Structure 1
Amino acid sequence: MRLSLSAVLMIAFGTHAAFGQAAPEPDFRRLEAEIGAANAAPGPRTVPGRVIPVPDTTSPDFRNAVAAPYRVPAWNANPPDAAGWKALVDRLAAAGAATLPALREKLNVTSEAAVIGGVKVFVVQPRTIPEANRNRLLLHIHGGGYVYNPGEAGTLEAILMAGLGGYKVVSVDYRMPPDAPYPAAMDDATAVWKAMLGMQKPQNMGVFGTSTGGGMTLALMLRAKQEGLALPAAIGLGTPWSDMTETGDTYRTNEWLDNVLVSYSGYLTPAAKLYAAGRDLKDPQLSPINGDFAGLPPAILISGTRDLFLSNTVRTHRKLRAAGIEADLQLFEGMSHAQYLAAPNAPETKEVFGEMARFLDAHLAR
């Protein structure tokens, strides 16, 4: 018998658990018997309903992000047609871009639109580049589920890397569905990387991105290998969308706990279908976890304990290690998917970009 959510919550906490109040202690003896019986045979794990508190082990600034409600309609959007997608994406992009001038000013960073390799990009850099990074260059591939963050809105992570890490960054404004499904985004990222190989030595360059940007960074490495292009000295993978097939433990264990992505059945499923445009989701250019990682550059991977993509990140890390690649996995307490991008002033965000900057510094030539 499958219990309803309300019934399970009643079993676990009684009928008087309320939002904003500490849940009473569950009746452990009753739970011990009922949940023990439900898990007496091998198979899927049944757990009692739970109210999970905001951890007090995070910084106050980051705790606000952890406690925030779901972002509607960003997490569960599924517009009925292309026009609906475009309207939603444009509205969210305008709101996101409006916050960036103040952040650039605070971090003493500039951003200029340009065209590299025939593709629109933004060149983001500190007003004063540290001496150690004068001959270094990073390619940034933004996240957003292949549909969000066109234009300037996609430069948030590049601004944080430039300001907190001290690097000059080229952020690619790749084409996206519904107008431009796969392979447009990968064609654009590849064209920019080819052009950058004429701007700087590959051993002086890195590639990084979060979520979709992390998945595309991996896919770019696989494509560059296939096309015989030089690879960068290191890559940064923020909670990469490395598998589009909803494979992995935390797609279930962190569902509804992650307050950014929330559930794969939200916007991620329709966004994946929009991008793939009928292509097999197991294709390594869509789900690079299925590719050959041999010969890839050293990688740093970032995720959090509440991240829906934690399993994506862990599985990618293990596969890199199995291929003999140096890979550094950094996990953060209480963090949902890419939440460091939502809390630019939090110590955790500074730690994320500090870790990534140090990793790049250790592997990029000068």
Structure 2
Amino acid sequence: MATVLVSVGATDRAAAMDETVVVPPRPLPVPKTVSPELQRLIGSPMNPSWDQHPASAEAWRALVKTYAADIETALPALMAREKVTIRADRMNGVPVFWVEPETVPSENRDRILLNFHGGAYVFAPGKAGLRDAILLAGRGFRVLSVDYRMAPDAPYPAAIDDAEAVWKAVVAQYPAKRVGVFGSSTGGAMTLALVVRAKAHHLPLPGALWAGTPWAQLDKVGDSYFTNDHIDNALVSYDGLLGAAARLYANGHDMADPELSPVNADFTGFPPTLLTTGTRDLFLSNTIRVHRKLKQAGGVSDLNVYEGLSHGDFERDPDLPESREVYGEAAAFFRQMLAR
């Protein structure tokens, strides 16, 4: 099994509180405390695309097209395994997809889940953004996934504007407390930002949230952006494609704005929230900080930290035992909270 050699500086350690701690190079073995399947994923090479820096809108679009084609190729098999169907629709002018299971349990017939896909506000348009939705629909829920506008063609606030438009249509048809909202990565941030926007505009709030490894801080603020740099083998580092995508979507807007970095929001009155991350996740601090903000505001927050997971591994490889556990926990959380 592979071992990562971590080297972030010389061997001396800084003593003063305002200095950067420098740690010596050290081996980072694959943990034996995770499933064999996850051990293999942890030991696999770093994502080779992490350090791309598209120089133009055309270069970004080409990269988006390539990634989307790769994802869509695998969707038919995933749909067949999860026994779901996909139907395109529009709500308040925004394209959406209904992802529906073969059988909806009686307890879920008056519930729906609203999904926002991941992709750094740039990637996974159309059906390429449906993996998360398929995996929860396969657990007995009708899922409405939003194909929101993204950079480079539609920077902030396009995505959250689309989210609000769809939310208004949803709550006109369904009791808000019977609707759960979820997403991973950017989708997790969108899940939180939707509540920020809904509170500001005095809209009804969802019954429950699941934010999987949310990109809750758009700029490079938070411990794990540094401690898990080159340890997370999915995102690898903020200082590559991720940071470039953040700047592309923000388009000069203050990244500390709670609609871009919802960890900076007032969490008073937030719905019960499930949070999922992993010990190697670049967004570990994002997730933990959201949890603490929710608790400090008196909210209900369930934080689940998985041994060894890098960013979004549960969606990246849904066959992992850990992935099945993640989606099972999310389904159970929604069943419990939306029954209130």
**What is the TM-score normalised by the length of structure 1?**
0.88
Contact 1:65 1:342 in 2 (8 A): no
2:144 alignment partner, SS class: strand
* Residue of structure 2 in register with 1:212 after alignment: 186
Compared CA separation, residues 273 and 107, structure 1 to 2 (3 A): same
Task: List aligned pairs for 1:136-147, cutoff 5 A.
Answer: 136-147=111-122
| Superposed CA offset, 1:291-318 (max 9, x none) | 1111110100000000010000000100
Instruction: Select the residue among 163, 167, 189 that pairs with 2:141.
Output: 167
Opposite residue 100 of structure 1, the aligned amino acid is L
Matched, 1:223 2:197: yes
Distance 1:40 1:141 in 2: 44
Number of residue pairs matched by the alignment: 335
* Residue of structure 2 in register with 1:181 after alignment: 155
1:115 alignment partner, SS class: strand
Contact 1:97 1:153 in 2 (8 A): yes
Q: Gaps spanning 5+ residues in structure 1: where? A: 1-18, 24-33
| Superposed CA offset, 1:199-252 (max 9, x none) | 211111110011111111111101001111101110001111111121111111
Instruction: Select the residue among 57, 61, 86 that pairs with 1:82.
Output: 57
Compared CA separation, residues 157 and 20, structure 1 to 2 (3 A): closer
| Superposed CA offset, 1:85-112 (max 9, x none) | 0001011101101101101101111111
Identity among equivalent pairs (%) = 51
Task: List aligned pairs for 1:1-366, cutoff 5 A.
Answer: 20=2, 35=11, 38-39=13-14, 42=17, 43-73=19-49, 75-163=50-138, 165-365=139-339
Opposite residue 77 of structure 2, the aligned amino acid is A
Report the CA distance between 1:20 and its aligned residue.
Answer: 4.6
Distance 2:243 2:16 in 1: 32
Report the CA distance between 1:152 and its aligned residue.
Answer: 0.4
Distance 2:4 2:63 in 1: 37
Compared CA separation, residues 255 and 135, structure 1 to 2 (3 A): same
Opposite residue 49 of structure 1, the aligned amino acid is P
Contact 2:30 2:39 in 1 (8 A): yes
Distance 1:21 1:126 in 2: 41
Distance 1:339 1:282 in 2: 27
Q: Gaps spanning 5+ residues in structure 2: where? A: none
2:120 alignment partner, SS class: coil
1:324 alignment partner, SS class: coil
Distance 1:162 1:353 in 2: 10
Compared CA separation, residues 297 and 102, structure 1 to 2 (3 A): same
Contact 1:116 1:192 in 2 (8 A): yes
Report the CA distance between 1:22 and its aligned residue.
Answer: 9.9
Distance 1:300 1:315 in 2: 13
2:249 alignment partner, SS class: helix
Opposite residue 293 of structure 1, the aligned amino acid is F
Contact 1:61 1:343 in 2 (8 A): no
Contact 1:281 1:287 in 2 (8 A): yes
Report the CA distance between 1:41 and its aligned residue.
Answer: 5.0
Opposite residue 260 of structure 2, the aligned amino acid is L
| Superposed CA offset, 1:11-46 (max 9, x none) | xxxxxxxx95799xxxxxxxxxx95x5355554322
Contact 2:275 2:302 in 1 (8 A): yes
1:265 alignment partner, SS class: helix
Contact 2:272 2:301 in 1 (8 A): yes
Opposite residue 107 of structure 1, the aligned amino acid is E
2:243 alignment partner, SS class: helix
Contact 2:115 2:181 in 1 (8 A): yes
Q: CA RMSD in A?
A: 1.7
Opposite residue 46 of structure 1, the aligned amino acid is V
